[in-house]
Amino acid sequence: MKYYGDLRSFITALDEMGDIMHVQREVDGDFEPSAITRRSYEIQSPAPLFHKVAGVAPGFRLFGAPAALSSRSDMPYARVAMSLGLAPESSGPEIIEALSAARFKPGIPPVRVESAQAECQQNILRGDAANLDRFPIPFAHDKDGGRYANTWGTLIVKTPDGKWVNWSIARVMKVDGKRMVGLIVPSQHIGQIWTQWVARGEPMPYALVQGPAPAISCVSGIPIPANADEADYIGTLAGEPVPVVKAVSLDLDVPATAEIVIEGHVSIERDCQEGPYGEYGGYLGEGSSAQPTFHVETITHRDDPIWPMSITGRPTDESHTLWAMGLAADALTYLREAELPIKTTWIPEDSTVHWLLVVMPENWRELLPGVSSEELTQRIGEVLFKTDAMVFIPKVYVVDDDFDPTNLREVVWALSTRVHPVGRRAVFDDQRVIRLPQCYDEAEYVAGKGAKVVFDTLQTKRHLHASFAQGYPEEVRQRILDNWPE
């Protein structure tokens, strides 16, 4: 296992295992990098690294699909695992266990270094020179409202009293060289902090960080409890403190090894239109909304900087790997805190974060004596639907552990044969919903409430599978494996 402290060492490691596609020809500055990245997701190719982008200075690069499924079929979650300092061959459930376990360990706070030691401040741009037009920011999709300056970067903000520093990912659209507009949802952590600045009547200082250590990008996109600092949690995952440096123009610390840092203030009003944007559900966006303006005041960057991007859409991209694992880890943490004997949780990538599988061990009835599967299903729903992360997930399946939840073919087989057509489910009405899932009607979106469901697919009797693993004597199976292929 190795922790990668900057984006460049991570890209080198991926390259050594054959998981980087070097695009050396010049690509246009509008759609070509995004279209290539989107295709790379859909055919599971190596991650594209664009060395020449039209309209920007030589040396400025783009990096697509940083945490998507690997092109290595023997280690599909390698990009996520390596981002978090885990072995590239780690399975999805092993990654989820690591994310959940770190929640119970003491945080390791970041350590501040001097500006001279911080690669992110090799170049400092102020005033008119601090302009987004010099960077290769493409359109993510052709129906988007503009070029999206943030799809895989980390937004750093803190409360006015300085007690809570939040690192998060939120989509941010470029308006012009000196302005961006970002989606700020009141219930999300950045929205809670922005609301405090609004109450004071002061614009919120922010730093938008592109290309920090991969673990920073990953953790910025997953749920951890409010008032917890992501930097401390990342230190726990890494086993070492994150090096940070004071921002040039703000009282914020930023990751010292980042590629690019944009500094400025966020308006106290929703004074600019943001969107539409093609989101993780797999549909091109429609409509826009009034959101706060992010004013660009200072930009710092490394020599020959790399701008990473996630081009969301149909599976599988970072929304369906890293974010889904983060939501599953959050669910696992709360269920285990409720003293339920959960084996693992999993969100299949192809469900676009609309399904959560809660996997029970074979002996769960012994561990919960006197509890029926119906009661267990109800308890699971009561725990999960109180959490913030479950606002994104409308359907939960409680399943046995006799199949691989990370294998979509097995998931489809198990759910199609075990979900009762009418009964064996717990329905939770009037749950909080948002517009990102596509399964609700307009009245429910307007009300912000809709139904969610937990399906009980647990078997009262385990049935043997008509499969190679369970349909033949062990000695026959072993003889076949020893001689395969014949």
**Three-class SS of the chain:** CCCCCCHHHHHHHHHHCCCEEEECCCECCCCHHHHHHHHHHHHCCCEEEECCECCCCCCCEEEECCCCCCCCCCCCCHHHHHHCCCCCCCCHHHHHHHHHHHCCCCCCCCEECCHHHCHHHCEEEEHHHCCHHHCCCCCCCCCCCCCEEECCCEEEEECCCCCCEEEECCCEEEEECCEEEECCCCCCHHHHHHHHHHHHCCCEEEEEEECCCHHHHHHHCCCCCCCCCHHHHHHHHHCCCCEEEECCCCCCEEECCCCEEEEEEECCCCCEEECCCCCCCCCCCCCCEEECEEEEEEEEECCCCEEEECCCCCCCCCCCCHHHHHHHHHHHHHHHHCCCCCCEEECCHHHCCCEEEEEECCCHHHHCCCCCHHHHHHHHHHHHCCCCHHHHCCEEEEEECCCCCCCHHHHHHHHHHHCCCCCCEEEEEEEECCCCCCCCCHHHHHHCEEEEEEEECCCCCCCCCCCCCCCCCHHHHHHHHHCCCC
241 pLDDT more than 80: yes
pLDDT, mean of residues 77-103: 97
435 pLDDT more than 90: no
Q: Is residue 323 part of a domain?
A: no
Q: Is residue 16 part of a domain?
A: yes
pLDDT, mean of residues 97-123: 96
Q: Is residue 207 part of a domain?
A: yes
The pLDDT confidence band at residue 305, using thresholds 50, 70 and 90, is: very high
Q: Is residue 484 part of a domain?
A: no
The pLDDT of residue 187: 85
Give me the domain span that covers residue 346.
338-456
In angstroms, the CA 344 to CA 329 distance is 9
Same domain, 342 and 303: no
Same domain, 106 and 225: yes
In angstroms, the CA 456 to CA 454 distance is 7
Domain of residue 299, CATH code = 2.30.110.10
pLDDT, mean of residues 39-68: 97
The pLDDT of residue 255: 98
Average pLDDT taken over every residue of the chain: 96
Last residue in a domain, options 309, 327, 357: 309
486 pLDDT more than 80: no
Same domain, 180 and 303: yes
Same domain, 277 and 401: no
Q: Is residue 325 part of a domain?
A: no
Same domain, 277 and 362: no
The pLDDT of residue 399: 98
The pLDDT of residue 204: 98
pLDDT tens profile 252-278 = 999 999 999 999 999 999 999 999 999
Q: Is residue 196 part of a domain?
A: yes
For the record, the structure tokens of 70 come out as: 């690997």
Same domain, 274 and 346: no
Same domain, 347 and 292: no
The pLDDT of residue 485: 86
Q: Is residue 477 part of a domain?
A: no
Same domain, 70 and 108: yes
- The catalytic position among 32, 274, 279, 349 is 279
pLDDT, mean of residues 409-420: 97
In terms of Cα–Cα distance, which of 139, 125, 209, 199 is closest to 168? Answer: 209
162 pLDDT more than 90: yes
Domain of residue 402, CATH code = 3.40.1670.10
The pLDDT of residue 408: 96
Which of 125-134, 203-212, 289-298, 460-469 has the weakest average pLDDT? 460-469
Same domain, 210 and 121: yes
Q: Is residue 320 part of a domain?
A: no
The count of structural domains within the chain is: 2
Same domain, 179 and 294: yes
pTM, entire model: 0.94
**Whether the Cβ atoms of residue 336 and residue 290 lie closer than 8 Å to each other:** no
pLDDT tens profile 334-374 = 999 999 999 999 999 999 999 999 999 999 999 999 999 99
138 pLDDT more than 90: yes
pLDDT, mean of residues 304-308: 98
pLDDT tens profile 176-186 = 999 999 999 98
The pLDDT of residue 436: 82
Same domain, 274 and 375: no
Alpha carbon 61 to chain centroid, angstroms: 22
**Whether the Cβ atoms of residue 312 and residue 143 lie closer than 8 Å to each other:** no
Q: The tokens 């990009």 sit on which residue?
A: 79
The pLDDT of residue 481: 95
Same domain, 33 and 168: yes
Is residue 279 flagged as an active site residue? yes
